[in-house]
Chain A
């Protein structure tokens, strides 16, 4: 039996809205540690890894680990029916082929439930080792989203280079070229305006902008985004889900052949 009650149900909707265009179907794995989701996009160039800890839920019961295969588009449709302040409760039987979502308004004067059919999805799981990245950039999520949007109008490939001065995003295309440099800023009055760069050694990597732009759909989740880079490794783009967990995106670099 699975029963999980999330007071801030809107977080679930923000997570699904952030990933549903990248991955269409995915297995949500539930265990005593919480909810996890790992899936690659169809081109196997990018990957999402989400974790919501069990202690994020007001009530969490998971008698035995289970994997719930879902269409993320259908899940998004169901979550769209929840009020932004609703409490969301998920229920599923161990051998069930459906999962039920219950939405309760804060004043408990409106309760609705939606039953979603589960699917059999055979997903390939990648082992992602903990990496001691050469460069870690924490910047305002809105700033990252704006850079992706602006540069996408100029080119489709971006070189991200992190040095001690800051992190530079460079692109070029038929229109011309563009550079955006974001400098370390640890003195901004508001914490959410700060940019923090932890550099072990300079690194520059090349990526397809359309994936980085897609990751920015997670902007409503958090005030900051963290980019972690190491030579010749995928970049990790991470949004914290408040203090409940994280939504991570990995993107394989483009390397001179």
Chain B
């Protein structure tokens, strides 16, 4: 089953 990712895996904190 596909795993839910989190936004920090795609966008960096600034």
Contact = CB atoms under 8 A, between A and B. Distances in A.
Contact residues on A (Cβ < 8 Å of other chain), bracket = 20 to 34
Contact of A252 (B6, B12, B14): B6
Contact of B3 (A44, A250, A254): A254
A255 B3 CA distance: 5
Interface residues of B, number: 13
A45 B6 CA distance: 5
A246 to B, nearest CB: 17
A124 B13 CA distance: 7
B6 A256 contact: no
Contact of B8 (A44, A157, A233): A44
Interface stretch (A112-120, A125-133, A145-153): A125-133
Interface in B1-14: 2-14
Interface string A205-225: 010100000000000000000
Contacts of B7: 40, 44-47, 126, 234, 250, 252
Interface of A: 40, 43-47, 124-129, 157, 206, 208, 233-234, 250, 252-257
